[in-house]
Structure 1
């Protein structure tokens, strides 16, 4: 059974989604804790927190482009690379990575997973929105 078939039947996902939501909560907490420790501006945090969601605009072009652009900025790889660049760029990179990690964590905690090319509402954590209500 493929992952997309599993998302059609939420019961097949079972406790996996709960674990991913708890992971999201942990990432959100760690991102915020790191930001507190860095002592950077909360105004900057508020301004940058939703920037990754701008990549949903790819859906205006097509579901495929939307899924690719959304997924590129909603994996922990990118903020990890930004944090690593902090070794050369300094604390601002750590702050951006902390905000980005917190954002991804919040999304996962709320059940917004990585997107399939079949549409925004089909995620690796199951269906969301109208698609969830239909199933």
Structure 2
């Protein structure tokens, strides 16, 4: 009696290949989810930074009689949480304040100066692409 040759059947090999493809695609989806979670943290921190800068500019314009147009930029490290494991990110904050031309139909003495403040917050993602958030606000001191 001749013994059967031992080895894998074609069906077993196809099933193994299918399981490997499913596991690889599951890991890829998980990695993309982590990347999107990280991007969401950076975007939320950038929007929060931009909103706080616009609020400060509004406050400064209301309190300071010598408020004037201009621009500035600076780097700032922002922690994402009080827990050290959460990490943080470096952001470039660019501010630009421009004085708007007075409308002819309005009483210029009653309106005073009107400014347009724009704050742009930039960062680099994991793939070294520049990302940014830009917010604008009209300031009437």
Provide TM-score, normalisation by structure 2: 0.32
Q: Which has the larger radius of gyration?
A: 2
More strand by share: 2
Larger relative contact order, structure 1 or 2 (CA cutoff 8 Å, min sep 6): 1
Normalized per residue, the structure richer in helix is 1
